[in-house]
């Protein structure tokens, strides 16, 4: 039940047991085409490209940073937890000045503040942010942040030092834990670079990352000196025209992922988002009934990060969940270490998992000396699911 890695569907798993076949073949080209076209649906883009990278989700984040912003230039990093901090650390690694707008963990960003920072500092080349901050379960308002970027306008005529034209900063989004689970519209929300990893809502095996690139991003990236070899996105664009990747692709992982993407497309992305939202509402109703507060002020439907009472031995709770009930949760990271547990609502997780997990939580709480009214959490979830 962790927010990544998630369980992998049987049909997808069985493909991983097949003999390896070569990747410079028409068969791979067909797989490449099917996968990238499918991902365009998942990313909600018609205009942009989706490229496949070998690596975990962070590979896509690193590719975004090295391709989008020249060394020595500035980027705005929106920091609200463990994962969004990574944007700032990546920028620093590549000699990019990270202007940080940090909020307390679990808080939203205020689009007006983003606007104020950008209108004061016209040298900021890109804004790096996160769809679902997986360390806190916070669902950030990407559409609102995008509008804030738009609102500083290009009409003011401020010259952009490196394109020679007025332009808005690029919007770069880490959608690793929530694209494929919750609403995220690359084109409509003017996302320039969208990073995703296979092992979260896409139900894949870790080791495959994806990055969506808008036409604007391509234009702007042409002005950036190449700072990477393996992660030079122009190499991937060139190969994509031949329906392949520049380096040996993790073909078995792509084979397996394609099955999951086909299933998401068949269901329809809006239906998938509604399904996740329904499970999220049921889980929240359950936590509320048990008196367990959520960490974030605006929870993402992708997952719940839940606070446990101070008196509870969190390690013991997690170990009972795992060893007695076979339910694996993620614990807290950084400042939330030992205080919370994190649970996904996406991928293969269904109504049965939500109800069963809430029941198991009740028994585990009883075992660690914090009894709740038996059935209260599960009953609230069932009531919500019956609506
Ligand atoms: C999981 C996750 C990452 C890190 O991905 P890796 O696959 O471990 O590299 C980054 N950002 C968010 C929001 C995540 O949930």
Please report, for residues 140, 235, 351, the alpha-carbon distance to residue 36 in angstroms, rounded to integers and kept in the order given: 26, 16, 30
Report the pLDDT value the prediction gives residue 154, as an integer from 0 to 100: 61
Q: pLDDT digits over 168-190, tens only?
A: 899 999 999 999 999 999 999 99
Is the CB of 197 inside a 6 Å radius of any atom of ligand 1?
Answer: yes
Ligand 1 centre to CA of 342 (Å) is 14
Dihedral sign for Cα 285, 7, 136, 127, please. negative
Please identify, by atom number, the ligand 1 atom nearest to the C-alpha of residue 197: 7
Can you tell me the distance from the alpha carbon of 302 to that of 243, in angstroms, rounded to the nearest whole number? 32
294 pLDDT above the threshold of 50: yes
List Cβ neighbours of 31 (8 Å cut-off, separation of 6 or more). Answer: 251, 254, 255, 258
pTM of the model: 0.96
Largest CA distance in the chain: 66
- Indicate left, alpha or beta for 305 from its phi (over 0: left) and psi (-120 to 50: alpha): beta
Ligand 1 centre to CA of 153 (Å) is 32
Q: pLDDT digits over 229-281, tens only?
A: 999 999 999 999 999 999 999 999 999 999 999 999 999 999 999 999 999 99
Is the CB of 58 inside a 6 Å radius of any atom of ligand 1?
Answer: yes
Q: Which of 3, 82, 177, 178 to mutate to test the pocket of ligand 1 (most atoms within 8 A of CB)?
A: 177
A 10 A CB-CB count for 228 gives: 14
Ligand 1 centre to CA of 321 (Å) is 24
Q: Are 356 and 363 in contact (CB under 8 A)?
A: no
Can you tell me the distance from the alpha carbon of 32 to that of 258, in angstroms, rounded to the nearest whole number? 9
Q: pLDDT digits over 130-139, tens only?
A: 999 999 999 9
166 pLDDT above the threshold of 60: no
Is the CB of 56 inside a 6 Å radius of any atom of ligand 1?
Answer: yes
pLDDT category of residue 161 using cuts at 50, 70 and 90? very low
Q: pLDDT digits over 194-228, tens only?
A: 999 999 999 999 999 999 999 999 999 999 999 99
Q: Are 199 and 4 in contact (CB under 8 A)?
A: yes
Please identify, by atom number, the ligand 1 atom nearest to the C-alpha of residue 83: 11
Is the CB of 135 inside a 6 Å radius of any atom of ligand 1?
Answer: no
Residue nearest atom 5 of ligand 1, based on CA coordinates: 57
Characterize the bridge pairing of strands 193-197 and 208-213: antiparallel
Is the CB of 83 inside a 6 Å radius of any atom of ligand 1?
Answer: yes
Ligand 1 centre to CA of 59 (Å) is 9
Which backbone phi and psi does 313 adopt, to 5 degrees?
-80, 100
Is the CB of 346 inside a 6 Å radius of any atom of ligand 1?
Answer: no
């Amino acid at each position: 039940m962790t927010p990544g890695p998630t369980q992998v569907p049987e049909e997808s798993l069985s493909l991983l047991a097949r003999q390896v076949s070569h990747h410079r073949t028409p068969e791979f080209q067909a797989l490449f085409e099917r996968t990238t076209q499918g991902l365009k649906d998942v990313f909600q883009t018609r205009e942009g490209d989706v490229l496949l990278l070998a690596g975990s989700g962070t590979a896509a984040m690193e590719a975004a940073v090295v391709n989008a912003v020249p060394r020595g230039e500035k980027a705005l990093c929106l920091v609200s937890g463990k994962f969004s901090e990574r944007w700032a650390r990546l920028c620093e690694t590549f000699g990019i000045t990270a202007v940080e707008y940090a909020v307390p963990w679990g808080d939203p960003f205020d689009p007006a503040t983003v606007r104020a920072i950008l209108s004061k500092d016209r040298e900021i080349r890109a804004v790096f942010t996160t769809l679902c901050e997986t360390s806190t379960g916070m669902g950030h308002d990407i559409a609102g942040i995008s509008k804030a970027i738009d609102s500083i306008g290009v009409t003011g005529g401020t010259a952009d030092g490196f394109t020679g034209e007025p332009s808005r900063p690029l919007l770069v989004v880490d959608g690793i834990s929530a694209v494929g689970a919750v609403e995220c519209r690359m084109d409509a929300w003017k996302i320039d670079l969208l990073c995703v990893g296979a092992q979260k809502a896409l139900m894949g095996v870790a080791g495959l990352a994806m990055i969506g690139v808008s036409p604007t991003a391509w234009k702007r990236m042409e002005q950036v000196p190449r700072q990477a070899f393996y992660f030079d996105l122009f190499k991937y664009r060139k190969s994509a025209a031949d329906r392949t990747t520049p380096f040996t692709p993790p073909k078995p992982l792509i084979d397996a992922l394609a099955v999951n993407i086909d299933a998401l497309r068949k269901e329809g992305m809006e239906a998938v988002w509604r399904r996740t939202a329904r499970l999220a509402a049921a889980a929240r109703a359950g936590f509320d009934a048990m008196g367990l507060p959520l960490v974030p002020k605006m929870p993402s439907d992708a997952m719940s990060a839940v606070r446990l009472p101070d008196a509870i031995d969190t390690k013991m709770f997690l170990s009972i969940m795992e060893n007695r009930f076979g339910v694996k949760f993620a614990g807290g990271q950084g400042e939330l270490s030992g205080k919370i547990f994190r649970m996904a609502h996406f991928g293969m997780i269904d109504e049965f998992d939500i109800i069963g997990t809430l029941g198991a939580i009740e028994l585990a709480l009883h075992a660690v000396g914090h009894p709740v009214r038996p059935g209260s959490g599960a009953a609230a979830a069932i009531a919500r699911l019956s609506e």
